[in-house]
């Protein structure tokens, strides 16, 4: 599952552009998970601010 | 908002603004939509632009020029500083813009030329008919609407989702995404006429750190690192914070932004039936410098010129729109994107030691011409012992 830390996010769209699933979207001023996410973690790597985290549930 | 226009432009950055202005001036009905509540903010840019590049599209206006630049300095891992300036020092070679005002000015001009402009209005999907784009579904401040158009220009920047939804793959590979962070710092000691670039794997792995002046004691201090080098504890923000703690400890941050610069090759094709892709969305940022404002304006204007003809002729098929794709690839911009992609691929293979050797070799040279190719020619001339390694660079110049 992808956790978005809105307090850290800078609304820059970097994660949107690298997501292979086109799951993320910047709505006017906030980031939102709009479609199915495969928890690959690429967006979390690319984020300049560390606002994304893939958490694996037990 | 009407429900049918000749042209719909998705995105209110420099690419979209120039496209809307050009198409409106040619007599088309044009609608430009921007999803953010205000044009130009938050910025995602270090705001530097070359003089010629700017002059081609607009005359400089003190309202949106923050600083005049006379030189660039490259600072290598061992502290060598290579100063690049024209033969007659003191010549302005570029500007640092105030993009909040600049971007607005461009959209203003589009509006003045007759284009409709809507903010907080987001394209949520293309309207597709028989495989062709016929407009967009939008969310306009909470109300859904359909806007139909003969041709849609995707000018939606880094995210580039509109073209993706229409079937073009715009995904940027992690290694080719520059992960960026920047502060507008004030109360710091800088050279107010120089854009400074700090290189090295400890400073900015596979990227660089920049100090772009915005006034006498104020600068955009930012960094871009390759996405593949980015991880917890060593993200763009971490590198930047460390650099600032060391070099500008007393600096005060009055703005903090993040951003992503795609430094991959351009999209394999930038048109489809009823669709043209321009600016960052087409992946036409200079892969070496990360500069994309000029290329966004160029592609925006060119696309609108081609589209205007197609609209009048009643044919906005992929084949009819193709001259846009062909022309930018053959242009100076197209050639320089190709060359600089190869130059970038070469530079990211260098370790700090080689970077130092190369920089030292040109440290004392005054370049007659302020350009990437002049610098590369000089590097090749002065490093005969690295001929083999520099071959890739030499080939890139051809
Ligand atoms: C940190 C950083 C530093 C940079 N420094 C420089 C520099 O010094 N010099 C330089 O030349 N370039 C620089 N660039 C690159 C430059 O900012 C871009 O190349 C330029 O802004 C591209 O213009 P554009 O019009 O294509 O896209 P943008 O300016 O990104 O505009 C795209 C617009 O589309 C909107 N949009 C997106 N999706 C939708 C949608 N679905 N519906 C409606 N609207 C939408 C966005 O909100 C945005 O406003 C930098 C980039 C970054 C990230
Ligand atoms: S990359 Fe990070 S800062 Fe940028 S929009 Fe995504 S989560 Fe936010
Ligand atoms: S984890 Fe992977 S699939 Fe999920 S949003 Fe991030 S990049 Fe996309």
What is the arithmetic mean of pLDDT over B93-101? 96
Which structure tokens are listed for B181? 């962070």
Q: How confident is the model at residue B368 (pLDDT cuts 50, 70, 90)?
A: low
Assess whether pLDDT exceeds 70 at residue B372.
yes
pLDDT digit string, tens, across residues A13-58: 999 999 999 999 999 889 999 999 999 999 999 999 999 999 987 6
Domain boundary, last residue among B262, B279, B296: B262
Could you tell me if residue B185 is inside a domain? yes
Q: Are residues B145 and B130 in the same domain?
A: yes
Could you tell me if residue B55 is inside a domain? no
Share of chain B above pLDDT 90, in %: 80
Q: Are residues B184 and B87 in the same domain?
A: yes
Tell which residue, B65, B44, B35, B67, has the closest CA to residue B256: B44
Q: Are residues B346 and B321 in the same domain?
A: no
Atom of ligand 3 nearest to the CA of A33: 5
Q: Are residues B179 and B290 in the same domain?
A: no
Could you tell me if residue B52 is inside a domain? no
Cβ A12 under 6 angstroms from ligand 3: no
pLDDT at B361: 83
**B59 Cα to chain A: minimum distance (Å):** 29
Chain B CB contacts of A5 under 8 Å are none
What is the arithmetic mean of pLDDT over B50-79? 93
Q: Probe ligand 2: pick from A14, A27, A44, A50, max atoms within 8 Å of CB?
A: A14
Chain A CB contacts of B42 under 8 Å are 10-11
Q: How confident is the model at residue B370 (pLDDT cuts 50, 70, 90)?
A: low
E strand or H helix that includes residue B211 = strand B208-215
What is the arithmetic mean of pLDDT over B116-130? 98
**CATH number reported for the structural domain that contains residue B316 in this entry:** 3.50.50.60
| B170 SS3 class | coil
**CATH number reported for the structural domain that contains residue A25 in this entry:** 3.30.70.20
**How big is the CA angle at B207 (ends B349 and B378), to the nearest 5 degrees?**
65
Could you tell me if residue B60 is inside a domain? no
Assess whether pLDDT exceeds 90 at residue B284.
yes
Could you tell me if residue B277 is inside a domain? yes
Q: Are residues B167 and B276 in the same domain?
A: yes
Q: Are residues B165 and B312 in the same domain?
A: yes
| B256 SS3 class | strand
Count of domains observed in chain B:
3
Measured in degrees and rounded to the nearest 5, phi and psi for residue B209 equal -110, 140
pLDDT at B294: 97
Cβ A19 under 6 angstroms from ligand 2: no
**CATH number reported for the structural domain that contains residue B205 in this entry:** 3.30.9.10
Q: Which residue of B has its CA nearest to A43?
A: B174
Q: Which residue of B has its CA nearest to A23?
A: B161
Share of chain B above pLDDT 70, in %: 98
Assess whether pLDDT exceeds 80 at residue B86.
no
Dihedral sign for Cα atoms in the order B345, B193, B223, B299: negative
pLDDT at B128: 98
Domain boundary, last residue among B309, B330, B351: B330
Could you tell me if residue B49 is inside a domain? no
A7 touches B: beta carbon within 8 Å:
no
pLDDT at A58: 61
Interface test with A, best of B45, B138, B159 (most A CBs within 10 A): B159
Q: Are residues B186 and B251 in the same domain?
A: yes
In whole numbers, what is the pLDDT of chain B averaged over residues?
Answer: 94
What is the arithmetic mean of pLDDT over B215-244? 97
Q: Give dist(CA B308, CA B303) in Å, integer.
A: 9
Count of domains observed in chain A:
1
pLDDT at B393: 80
C-alpha separations of A11 from B244, B258, B278, B292, B352 in Å: 23, 7, 21, 19, 33
Q: Are residues B364 and B393 in the same domain?
A: yes
Q: Are residues B275 and B137 in the same domain?
A: yes
pLDDT digit string, tens, across residues B140-189: 999 999 999 999 999 999 999 999 999 999 999 999 999 999 999 999 99
Q: Are residues B268 and B126 in the same domain?
A: yes
Could you tell me if residue B268 is inside a domain? yes
Q: Find the CB nearest A12 among B44, B231, B235.
A: B44
Whole-complex ipTM:
0.96
Q: Are residues B111 and B154 in the same domain?
A: yes
Ligand number with the minimum distance to the CA of A42: 3
Dihedral sign for Cα atoms in the order B182, B184, B190, B193: positive
Assess whether pLDDT exceeds 70 at residue B366.
no
Q: Are residues B230 and B273 in the same domain?
A: no
Q: For residue A44, what are the domain limits?
A: 2-54
pLDDT digit string, tens, across residues B12-42: 999 999 999 999 999 999 999 999 999 999 9
Q: For residue B393, what are the domain limits?
A: 339-397
| A32 SS3 class | strand
Lowest mean pLDDT among A7-21, A24-38, B72-86, B235-249: B72-86
Indicate yes or no: CB of A17 within 8 angstroms of CB of B120: no
């Amino acid at each position: 599952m992808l956790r978005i830390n809105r307090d850290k996010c800078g609304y820059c769209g970097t994660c949107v552009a690298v997501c292979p699933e086109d799951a993320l979207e910047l709505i006017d001023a906030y980031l939102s998970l709009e479609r199915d996410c495969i928890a690959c973690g690429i967006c979390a790597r690319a984020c300049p601010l560390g606002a994304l985290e893939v958490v694996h549930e037990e | 908002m009407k429900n049918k226009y000749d042209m719909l432009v998705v995105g209110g950055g420099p690419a979209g603004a120039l496209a809307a202005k050009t198409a409106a001036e040619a007599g088309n009905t044009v609608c430009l939509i921007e999803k953010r509540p205000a044009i130009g903010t938050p910025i995602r840019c270090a705001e530097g632009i070359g003089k010629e590049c700017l002059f081609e599209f607009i005359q400089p206006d003190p309202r949106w020029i923050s600083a005049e630049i006379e030189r660039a300095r490259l600072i290598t891992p061992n502290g060598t500083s290579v100063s690049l300036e024209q033969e007659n020092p003191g010549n302005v070679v570029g500007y640092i813009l105030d993009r909040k005002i600049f971007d607005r000015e461009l959209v203003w001009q589009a509006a003045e030329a007759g284009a409709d402009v809507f903010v907080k209005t987001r394209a949520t999907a293309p309207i597709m008919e028989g495989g062709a784009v016929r407009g967009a579904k939008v969310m306009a401040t909470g109300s859904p609407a359909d806007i139909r158009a003969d041709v849609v220009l995707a000018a939606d920047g880094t995210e580039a989702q509109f073209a993706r939804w229409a079937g073009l793959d715009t995904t940027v590979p992690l290694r080719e995404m520059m992960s960026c962070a920047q502060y507008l710092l004030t109360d710091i000691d800088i050279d107010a006429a120089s854009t400074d670039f700090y290189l090295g794997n400890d400073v900015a792995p596979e990227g660089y750190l920049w100090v772009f002046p915005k006034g006498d004691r104020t600068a955009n201090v930012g960094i871009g690192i390759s996405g593949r080098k980015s991880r917890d504890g060593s993200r763009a923000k971490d590198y930047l914070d460390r650099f600032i703690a060391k070099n500008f400890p007393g600096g005060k941050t009055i703005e903090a932004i993040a951003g992503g610069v795609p430094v991959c090759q351009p999209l394999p094709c930038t048109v489809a039936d009823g669709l043209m892709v321009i600016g960052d969305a087409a992946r036409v940022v200079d892969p070496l410098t990360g500069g994309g404002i000029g290329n966004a304006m160029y592609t925006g204007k060119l696309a609108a010129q081609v589209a205007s003809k197609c609209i009048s002729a009643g044919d906005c098929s992929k084949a009819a729109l193709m001259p846009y794709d062909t022309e930018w690839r053959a242009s100076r911009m197209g050639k320089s994107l190709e060359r600089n992609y190869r130059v970038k691929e070469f530079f990211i293979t260098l370790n700090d030691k080689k970077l130092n050797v190369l920089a030292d070799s040109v440290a004392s040279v005054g370049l007659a011409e302020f350009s990437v190719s002049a610098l590369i020619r000089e590097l090749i001339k002065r490093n005969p012992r690295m001929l083999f390694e520099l071959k890739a660079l030499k080939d890139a110049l051809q």
